[in-house]
Structures are given as C-alpha cells and as structure tokens.
Chain A
Amino acid sequence: MRVSPWKQGLGRGLTCSLMLGATLALTAQPADARKKDRKAASAEAPYASTYKPYPGRPTALVGAVVYDGRGGRIDNGVVLFRDGKVVAVGGADLAVPDGYDRVDAAGKFVTPGVIDIHSHLGVYPSPAIDALSDGNEMTKPVTPHVWAEHSVWPQDPGFSRALVNGGVTTLQILPGSANLMGGRAVTLRNVPSRTVQGMKFPGAPYSLKMACGENPKRVYGGKGQEPSTRMGNFAVNRQAWIDAQKYMDGDHAERNLGKDTLEGVLKGEILVQNHCYRADEMAQVLDMAKEFGYKVTAFHHAVEAYKIGDLLKANDVCSAIWADWYGFKMEAYDGIPENAALLANQGACVVIHSDDENGIQRLNQAASRAQAAGRRIGIDIPDAQVVGWFTYNAAKAMGIGEKTGSLEDGKMADVVLWNGNPLSVYSRPDKVWMDGALMYDAADPKRKPVSDFELGQPGEGDVK
C-alpha cells in the first residue's frame, strides 16, 4: 500500500511524528522532597512493575571490541556478568573466573543494550489499525491525566523486531504529540510479557509528554478550539501550570489525576519529554520552564537544535533526534544531517531516537549516519562516544542512567553482542542479554520471541 499520509488528515504516521516529551533527572531530587509528596510520589505504586529478570548464567564475553556506552573503548576486551549484573569490564588481562560460560567474541563488538527514548510501540502497534491505535487522546489539548501504559498492547510484534534487529533492551513509550500535554510516558523493559506491568522498568521515573508547534495548533485549531496558534499553545500551557501550582499548594482534598502529574513535574519527580522542532520555540519553552520552575529533560525531534546548541548545553537539555529526517512538515524544513554532530561539537547532549517501529530496529545505523555527516564537515566524533547516543545518553535522559545504559560494574547486565561493528551497515545483533538473561540468539531459532498475534500466521517465527 502506497499512501500519502500527509494528504489524508492525521494519519498514524503523522501522529507518531508528532510526539514530544521532556524529562528531568529524578536522581537529583533530594529525598526529603520526595517524602513530602502526597500524590505524585505514589506514582510508582499503582500499576506497579511486576518485571523480574529471567535466569541467566554467569557469562564472559572474551575478545570483542567493547564500547561501554560512556565513551570508553576496549579492544580485545572482556565483559563479565552474573546474577543479572555487570561484574567487571576490562582488557585481555581480566581473568575469567571459574563457573563462567566463556563466549569467544573475537572479531565481534559489545555494547550496552540499546535504548530508545522515543517509541510508540504498543500504543501505535502493528497492525496499524484503528482498533489498536491508542496513542493520542485527541479530545482536548491538555491531558496529563492519561498514562501511556494503559494503552500499551504487549503483543505488538514491533517489540520483538526492536530486540532481534536493533538490540533494544529498554524503551520509553510516549503518548502522541497531538496534545500540548499528552500524558505520562512509561519506560519498559523490552521483554515479552502477558501484561504491561510485566514489562515496566522497576523504579524508572515517569515522564510527561509535551508538544509544541504545529501539531497541537493544527489538531485543535482544526476543531475550532483553543489552541489554534503558537501563542495559544503557550497560553494554554501556562494556565495549566498556574492551575497545577495552585493544586500543589492546596490541601489535595479532591484528587486530580492530571494535576498529580503536573505536580510531579513541578517537584522534579516526573521528567518532561518535550516534542519541539524549531530552535526559537525550544528557547520559549525553556523560558516557560523557568517561569514555573520545572526542567525540560529532553527536546524530542529537535530538528533545529543545531541552531541553539549553546543554549541547550547551558540548560543541560538533551536533544533526542533522528539522524536526518527533514522536510515532511514546515517545522522540519531546516533539518540537516549534521544536527547531532553540531550539537556534540557544542558539548550538548545528543540522543538518537526512533519515533518509528522501523527506525527502532536500526538506531545504531542512524547514529552512524549522523556521525559520518559530522566527519564530512570536520567534526570527528569517536565511535565510542557515538555508541553513547543510543545507550547511556538515552538512559540518562530517561532517569535510569544509574541503572542501565552503560557497561559498568554493578549495573544491569543489558548487553548486545554484535557480529561486527555496530556502526556498520553490515552488522546485526548476534546475542542480546537483559539483566544477564539471554533473550535473543541469532544462532538459535527458538531463542527469540514470537507474539501471540503472529502465532499461526504466515511467516511465524521467520527470521525477520
């Protein structure tokens, strides 16, 4: 089927590309501030994670090029993990203790599990039919009361493709970007589960998805509602924050789901993932955050971030971006392939995101394209730093950087063994471990997930 979604109203592809969120580092929040919280702090309590790591064997990956996700590279390295945790990462001189399964990884590469900060798997799953499209509560522009996890369909076959082709072990599922405040995102382990709770990343902070620019004004302006302009976008947002501040200072006699979320943001417990394309608009959003005392953790899509790399650096905001999508809408007209490299050159935080059920299978390739574009204008970013664009930087901007995203002693053993350099088009994941459990093995046809939806269908269990 060949369609032009841009001419067919708000198609699925469009709504996906519309998303945004902003995040804030939860870890920075003092413990007493968290204790004071009455409603938002209980955010983790309902619908709690029931994820438990699957059993794994003590494993030693020996002889690979190891990228640790934080800029480190070890040639002929050794990675040890057991009981779900990374035990040690070192060079050839790191001895493999007794009891470890030794994997000869010579000629291969090891990275942390890949992390996508911007996905709609489960809320806009495959098949892309109306009955399963649950990513945008497009009935009013401010919906911080909706939670993406209540829309996630765990049987989305897209999760399995992200694992086996992309090495994705953790991903953040965001509501769409039709709304100014689209709702709470949820961070998932990329593990098949009968329930969403079985996928939830234990202890991950929530994020609020926000969106500026064309989408909200088009969606609501098209209905003859506010906002129909960018100034309308800001006015509605600001009023929502004013209301939230009042709620926060009140007695909470009557619970308000949406204001619970906004209160969490104002208290620094819920991160903000903010869909925003244009540089000037991002600058305005940063001032709105100052006005109300919250922090934007990441601008998503941010195709013009390269114009304000200095500002983003100064405000400690990540840019979660594609390598080189451009031109599909007015606010994406100035997208250039050098975006990531120019940001990195300013010292600003870069995250490569997908926003796409196909792109999530190749975040490593997108990062490589972005790196190459930089190299051609004289910005040479080492491979080891580029790997961080789809591992540690994403984890950090999702508030889980202390737990995963890098290969460091004591962290979750989320590990990808690649059959070649992950920045090469010719490489694919060979094995993927989550919390030390082997969840994918290219050499074992049965060591890969097949969702309920695909059972009994043509191509069930096929190499995808």
Chain B
Amino acid sequence: MSRRLLLAALLAAAPAPVLAQDFAITNATVAIGDGAEPLHNGTVLVRGGRVVVAGAGIAVPAGIETVDGTGKWVTPGLFSAVTDLGLWDIEALDESNDTSADASPFNAALDVAPALNPASEHIAVSREGGVTRATVAPVHGKSIFAGQGAVIDLGTDPQILTRPRAFQYVELGEAGGRLAGGSRVAAYTALRNALREASEAARLGATAQRQSDVLLTRADAAALAPVLDGTQPLYVGVERAADIRSVLALKTEFPKLNLVIVGATEGWLVAPEIAAAGVPVVTMPMRDLPANFESLAATMSNTGRMKKAGVKVAIGMFSGHNQPRYAPQQAGNLVALTKMPGAVGLSWGEALAAITSVPAEISGLGGKAGVLAPGAFGDVVLWDGDPLELASAPVEVWIDGVRQPANSRQSRLRARYRDLDEAYLPKAYDW
C-alpha cells in the first residue's frame, strides 16, 4: 500500500470528529461543585465544549439549544480519584486485567496510558452513573512502585487521555513492607534509595555509565526524576497514623516531593499535621472497621474530621466492588453523619465537592474539571433528583460539551429481559 493510500485508509477508519454542542440547561437546581450549597432556578451555559457560566439569573443567548431542567438537578460531572477504569473488562480475568504486573522487570516506569481502553464496559457503566473524569492508578506488582497513572475522560470518543503520566504511585504501610522484602523498614529504605538513584541518574544524564550496584533499571530511575523535582505528584498509599507521619517527614529529606496521601484511614488522628504539610488526601470514607492493624482507628468520621482540620480530602479509591458510580452514595452518607451525635460529616455542598472539584484539584485539574466554573470542561450531568440520593440517577451526561449516549451492555440486557416472552423466538433474537 502506498503511503497515500495508507493515509487515506487511516482517515477513512478514523471516527468522524464529534463536535461539542452549545447548550444551556435552565430552571434546574444547580450545584457548582465548589462546596457551595445548590442554587434553585439556575442555568448552566456551555459553548464550544466549555462552561461559560453557571448560576442564577443568567440569560441564555438566542439560538442556543435549551434543555428544560425543571424538577431536575445539574452538577459538574463526577471526578473519580484513583480508579481502575479502562484497565479491565472482567476484573478476575487476568488476561483482561491490566492493573498490575507481577512479573514485569519494571516498576516506576510502568505507564498505564497506552493500555487504557475507552471502550471498556466499566467506563460505560460509570459514565451512566455520572462519572465524566477520573484518575487511573496502576496497582503494585512486586515493587512498592506501582507506576504512573493518568487522568482520563469517560467520553465515547477514542481520545481518553486528559493527562498521561499524571502521577507516580508508591505503596507503603503493611503492603509496602511486604513488597519491599518484609517490613516497613525495608519499604522506606527502598523508597529513599530509589529516589537517590533517580537523583544520580538525572545528574549523570540518560546515556552515562551508572554505578554497578544500582537496584533500579534505567527506565525506572528516569521515571522517578519528575517525582524528585516535584513536577509529577507522588501518590503514597498509607493508612496508619504513624505511617502518615513518616510520609510527611520525607519532605525533610526530599523537599520538592509533591505528595498525595491515598488511604489515610487513620488520618483523623494526625489531621493537623497533614493540614500543616499542605498534603491532600484521597480516602475511602465508608471504612469503619479495623480491616488490619494499620487501620484500627477507622471511622466514617475520618473524612469530616480531616476536612475540619483543614485537610483537602477527596473521596476516591474506586476499585473492585467499590464502583465509581457509588461516589454519590458515599458522599450522601457523609451528609447523614451530620445528624449523628458525636460524628463529623460534611455539608451537602462539601460532600458534592469531595466527588467533583476536590479530586479534580488534587489531580491537577483545579478549575478545569469537577466544577461548573467559566472555562471549565463542559462535563455536565443532569440528574432526575438530588444527585446524592439513592433513588437519583443521571438523565443526561455531557463530556467536553458532547452529549453522551446512554448505552451499555447493562442497558441492553435490561431491555432484552424486561419481559421473558419467548413465544415466537428465543431471546437471542431480541436485539
């Protein structure tokens, strides 16, 4: 095939570009996502794939498609922090699961970006639940370094990446100790050694001869250079209060580290220290059991207490049975805590922010995602009720201003089995 023919074939195979629509939603209850309480009778205006304005008392320019939001709610698209979206079709099926790589010779260099599958069913199901953007994190293999995660959007178009190599993920605590050779001591030593090797590799240059006793491959050492200089955030998986303190102390030795704590089940015990260090947290808020000896102090008040102490806290860690579409339920449960004597929860606005703007900010997309602010991505969800309520669901989802189809295997299965009538033909003909 000639190059011209090849090019023509490629162009023909490429999907037609989907254009963002200009649209406005009017008369809806609008929640901006920035922590404020919802506004009644609000309007959201999106043009060219970006939010123009959202709020009350806004005039819609002539000629703009208008969606009547009477009786409905509008929020920014949900932002799911630390997920496995796009990395598996069936989680337990090894060949379909790209979250971890036990037998790879690489660790920090691993980069999820080329493996991400925008056609993943799990993305479609999450999108139907109102999730429009997410961070995808690899899971550790045999090293404490899991590799580099990405920020994605959940649109049906093939362009899944918002930001590749958005962070490095390292596992410490109990899991890190086991991975590093059997103890937390070994894990911290492995981490510090890796950062020193990365520093040396960066100083010597990519082609230089390295010392013979290095533990990191050249690729892994190179991957850690942006972690060292703080241009790439380092997500640290850790739960116990003492472990959190040790992680915060790393900044004494490596002052440029741009840390994000993931887990922090005992974060409330050291919340003032986390706040003082300016380190944000991604947590799973419903954990209230001593699932292991590093989470003895687990409580659903963890999120509220950290927030109260000034920590930036996002709801996240969506993997396994903790599906991204459960984020509103978790946020709603934190609101429920405000009625419980002795518990600390979040206000409704704060709870919504914990699944929209806050995770977006932690992911480096502050002002661009998870918020209906001027210039932000046109990621908008229209709900049939209070989005944090169990009975509510998205009616419409836009990503980058593009209306998304509500179509997944789940919606097809439910349509096929809405009745069980096979009088004329088997169910297999019903499609």
Contacts and interface: CB of A to CB of B under 8 A. Distances in A.
A346 B100 CA distance: 42
Nearest to B416: A307
Nearest to A355: B321
B12 interface: no
Nearest to B289: A126
Interface string B118-158: 00011001000000000001011000000000000000000
Interface residues of B, number: 74
Contact of B321 (A126, A328, A376): A328
Contacts of A51: none
Interface in B84-106: 84, 89-94, 97, 99-100, 102
Interface string A169-186: 000000000000000000
A1 B122 contact: no
Nearest to B412: A336
Nearest to A359: B321
Interface stretch (A3-11, A21-29, A253-261): A3-11
B398 to A, nearest CB: 19
A337 B126 CA distance: 13
B122 to A, nearest CB: 6
Given A327-B91, A342-B414, A1 B391 contact: no
A2 B340 contact: no
Given A1-B174, A126-B289, A6 B297 contact: no
Residue of A126, A329, A335 most packed against chain B (CB within 10 A): A126
A457 B296 contact: yes
A30 interface: no
B301 A127 contact: no
A158 B341 contact: no
Interface stretch (B181-189, B214-222, B328-336): B328-336
A241 to B, nearest CB: 29
A240 B369 CA distance: 59
B272 to A, nearest CB: 16
Nearest to A5: B320
A442 B340 CA distance: 7
Contact of A1 (B237, B300, B414): B237
B296 to A, nearest CB: 5
Given A457-B296, A464-B300, A2 B262 contact: yes
A1 B320 contact: no
A328 B91 contact: yes
B355 interface: no
B279 interface: no
Contacts of A4: 84, 91, 97, 99-100, 139, 319-320
B292 A423 contact: no
B390 A369 contact: yes
A7 B99 contact: yes
Residue of B175, B299, B410 most packed against chain A (CB within 10 A): B410
A214 to B, nearest CB: 8
A45 interface: no
B263 interface: yes
Contacts of A338: 414
Contacts of A442: 340-341
A6 B391 contact: no
Q: How large is the interface on A (under 10, 10 to 19, 20 to 34, 35 or more residues)?
A: 35 or more
B397 interface: no
B339 interface: yes
Contact of B291 (A126, A377, A419, A424): A126
Contacts of B171: 1-2
Interface in A332-371: 333-338, 342, 346, 356-358, 361-362, 365, 368-369, 371
Interface in A196-236: none
Interface stretch (A93-101, A134-142, A425-433): A425-433
B410 to A, nearest CB: 5
A243 interface: no
Interface of A: 1-7, 13-14, 17, 126-129, 157-158, 161, 165, 306-310, 324-330, 333-338, 342, 346, 356-358, 361-362, 365, 368-369, 371-373, 375-377, 419-420, 423-428, 442-443, 445, 453-454, 457-459, 462-464
Interface of B: 82, 84, 89-94, 97, 99-100, 102, 121-122, 125, 137, 139-140, 171, 173-175, 237, 239, 241, 262-263, 266, 269, 286-294, 296-301, 317, 319-321, 323, 328-329, 332-333, 335-336, 339-343, 388-393, 409-410, 413-414, 417-418, 420, 427
Closest 8 interchain pairs by CB? Answer: A425-B332, A459-B297, A458-B297, A368-B390, A372-B391, A329-B92, A463-B342, A6-B92
6 contacts: A158-B289, A327-B122, A328-B92, A342-B414, A357-B289, A375-B391
